[in-house]
Amino acid sequence: MSSQEQRRLDQNRQQTPELQQLATRLQHHPYQPPPGFSAVEPGVHHASTVIFPTVAAMRARDWRNKDGYTYGLHGTPTTFLLEDRLASLDGGRHCVLCPSGLSAIALIDQALLAQGDHVLLPANAYGPGREFVERVLTGWGITHSVYDPLATSEQLAACITPDTRLLWLEAPGSVTMEMPDLRGLVAAAKARGVLTAIDATWAAGIALQPFDLGIDIVMQALTKYQSGGADVLMGSVTTRDDALHERLLFTHMRLGLGVCGDDAARVLRGLHSLPLRYAAHDASARRIAAWLQTQPQVAQVLHPALPGSPGHAHWLRDCTAAAGLFSIVFRREVTTERADAFVDALQLFKIGYSWGGPVSLAVPYTMPAMRPGWNEGPLVRLAIGLEDAEDLMADLQQAMQRAFV
Ligand SMILES: *Cc1c(COP(=O)(O)O)cnc(C)c1O
């Protein structure tokens, strides 16, 4: 405590609380908890207002620095701690938290793109992120192109224009699970001075090290594995480069993006068990995916770690693990109604969006609408939870028997 702070504290004490009215004493109390409290879980700080000891301290404060506090929106001990842990998990230097994965995507777009710029998105990009580009950025005079997620370096290079400022990557892509040639795509972007951002939610800081591949920005939906509880929405944007972090931080501040201390504490708690949970989801999912490949109604299982899955060679080269998320494509004879009946017949698998939580989930996707030119059978995405793998297979089997009579 500085001498100035001590003086103010002494002054407060001199205004003997006993002489103050109840309403005042309930707001201002001289008790100061002694320093040195230490526990496994850090304290959860809630703040909009942050109190400064003096006007001079307030004036001297720079909201960008993490050596102090300015206002709840710009961070508390709880959010700074989570940002620090995530930066090190991702192998980056800086991290900013956002209220959802989608807001983290939108932050990157808004920080790095301006009128006249062009952005590249993979055809399997997370749907709401793509819609942000199509429906919002287009209105701001920002153009975009969609590229084949399995494009080669040369094919991607042909999509880059003099206005291209940002290349979005997703590994693997949502729903259809193609694992891109990250090294080739990044090389094509770097050759033209285009920044690269990856939605690395699937890898969760475990299966892939994007910065080691030369990617500039790592975005995560912490809503999934980092939280692990299916009860928090949060996103993060991690960087290694100081100047890039500043650009993101300024936009983050101007957009007023902040997260709640309780939610940050939930994610901090989830991080303790992240590697254990991820390994369990991975092991179960691979077993179940391999078993599904042998089922008569299943035409293909889209899981990057399975041989024959799109981009499997890229997964082998760049990844060390896989998440518990994959899709099954039924044979063409299976109608959408039968695929829906299969999902309805599941008991342990619940019907719902998101993944990375304890409970297994199933979602049928309307592929022809999502991917024009789709001429395969119906697709169902499965998120494998933490239930016993045998029980999950039994559930899938009984649902197939009921749906495909
Ligand atoms: C869920 C998800 C998001 C968005 O996260 P929210 O927190 O739900 O907004 C973004 N990208 C991917 C790949 C996701 O799975």
At 368, the pLDDT band (50, 70, 90 cuts) reads: confident
At 16, the pLDDT band (50, 70, 90 cuts) reads: low
Alpha helices in 101-255, H assignment, sequence order: 101-112, 127-131, 153-157, 182-191, 242-255
pLDDT over 80 (residue 263): yes
Res 29: pLDDT: 83
Ligand 1 atom at minimum distance from 221 CA:
5
CA atoms in the 13 A half-sphere facing the CB of 105: 26
Contact 91, 211 (CB under 8 A): yes
> How far away, in angstroms, is 338 Cα from ligand 1 center?
28
At 3, the pLDDT band (50, 70, 90 cuts) reads: confident
Q: What is the pLDDT of residues 108-159, one digit of tens each?
A: 999 999 999 999 999 999 999 999 999 999 999 999 999 999 999 999 999 9
> How far away, in angstroms, is 35 Cα from ligand 1 center?
39
Q: Closest Cα to atom 10, ligand 1: which residue?
A: 101
Res 17: pLDDT: 67
Contact 367, 263 (CB under 8 A): no
Residues lining ligand 1, judged by CB closer than 6 Å? 100-102, 126, 174, 199, 201, 221, 223-224, 233, 235, 354
Res 70: pLDDT: 96
The residue assigned the tokens 């509880």 is 229
Q: What is the pLDDT of residues 294-312, one digit of tens each?
A: 999 999 999 999 999 999 9
Q: What is the mean pLDDT of the chain?
A: 95
Separation CA 339–CA 347 (nearest Å): 15
In terms of Cβ atoms closer than 10 Å to its own Cβ (0-12, 13-18, 19+), residue 184 is middle
Architecture per CATH, domain 274-404, reads as Alpha-Beta Complex (3.90)
Q: What is the pLDDT of residues 342-356, one digit of tens each?
A: 999 999 999 999 999
> How far away, in angstroms, is 257 Cα from ligand 1 center?
16
- Where do the domains of the chain lie? 3-59, 73-271, 274-404
Res 295: pLDDT: 96
Hey, do 73-271 and 274-404 end up sharing a CATH topology, with the first three levels equal? no
For a substitution probing ligand 1, which of 126, 168, 259 has the most ligand atoms within 8 Å of its CB? 126
Residues above pLDDT 70, as percent of the chain: 97
Q: What is the pLDDT of residues 166-186, one digit of tens each?
A: 999 999 998 999 999 999 999
The residue assigned the tokens 């969760």 is 204
pLDDT over 70 (residue 13): no
Q: What is the pLDDT of residues 79-106, one digit of tens each?
A: 999 999 999 999 999 999 999 999 999 9
The residue assigned the tokens 């199509």 is 134
Res 14: pLDDT: 56
Selected residue with higher pLDDT from 28 and 147: 147
For a substitution probing ligand 1, which of 97, 175, 223 has the most ligand atoms within 8 Å of its CB? 223
In the numeric block, which tokens belong to residue 401? 């028997």
Q: Which of 385, 200, 395, 356 is nearest to 271 (CA)?
A: 356
Calculate Rg over the CA atoms of the chain.
25
Res 9: pLDDT: 56
Res 77: pLDDT: 95
At 241, the pLDDT band (50, 70, 90 cuts) reads: very high
DSSP symbol at 136: I
Res 245: pLDDT: 98
For the chain, how far is it from start to end, CA to CA, in angstroms? 74
- Domain 73-271 fold is Aspartate Aminotransferase; domain 2 (3.40.640)
At 64, the pLDDT band (50, 70, 90 cuts) reads: very high
> How far away, in angstroms, is 199 Cα from ligand 1 center?
9
Separation CA 45–CA 8 (nearest Å): 23
pLDDT over 80 (residue 335): yes
